[in-house]
């Protein structure tokens, strides 16, 4: 989903036109797939089970990085949703902010 979002950001820059429906669907996909399905399984199953296992420092560091990334992912999705609402009201600058992060 990230490549189509980047392409859409470029299109907005060129055309100064926002496809709000595309953004709504993208946010919905990210929220359902990444947050609930993918991250939900990681948090509810994978990480819980991995904590019970002995692992190398390298693997433990990798897992901790994944755990720490999830709040960032949720915040990014929320920021996309807010930017979409702002763009729907005619402020294209909101997408510049999202595109630069």
- What pLDDT is recorded for position 96? 66
Determine the Cα–Cα distance for residues 52 and 61; give it in Å rounded to an integer: 15
Angle between helices 93-100 and 2-15 (to 10 degrees): 140
Are the C-beta atoms of residues 87 and 95 closer than 8 Å to each other? Answer: yes
Q: Which of 2, 18, 3 is nearest to 93 (CA)?
A: 18
Give 62-76 pLDDT, tens digit per residue.
988 888 888 888 888
Q: What is the pTM of this model?
A: 0.60
Are the C-beta atoms of residues 90 and 33 closer than 8 Å to each other? Answer: no
Domain chopping of the chain, boundaries = 20-100
Are the C-beta atoms of residues 77 and 98 closer than 8 Å to each other? Answer: no
pLDDT reading at 99 higher than 60? no
């Amino acid at each position: 989903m990230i490549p189509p979002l980047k392409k859409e950001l470029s299109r907005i820059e060129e055309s100064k036109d926002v496809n709000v429906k595309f953004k709504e669907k993208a946010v919905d996909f990210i929220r359902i797939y990444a947050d609930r399905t993918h991250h939900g399984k990681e948090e509810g199953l994978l990480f819980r089970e991995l904590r019970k296992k002995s692992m190398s420092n390298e693997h433990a560091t990798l897992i901790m990085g994944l755990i720490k990334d999830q709040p960032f992912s949720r915040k990014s999705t929320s920021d996309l949703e807010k930017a979409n609402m702002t763009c729907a009201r005619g402020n294209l600058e909101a997408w510049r902010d999202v595109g630069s992060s």
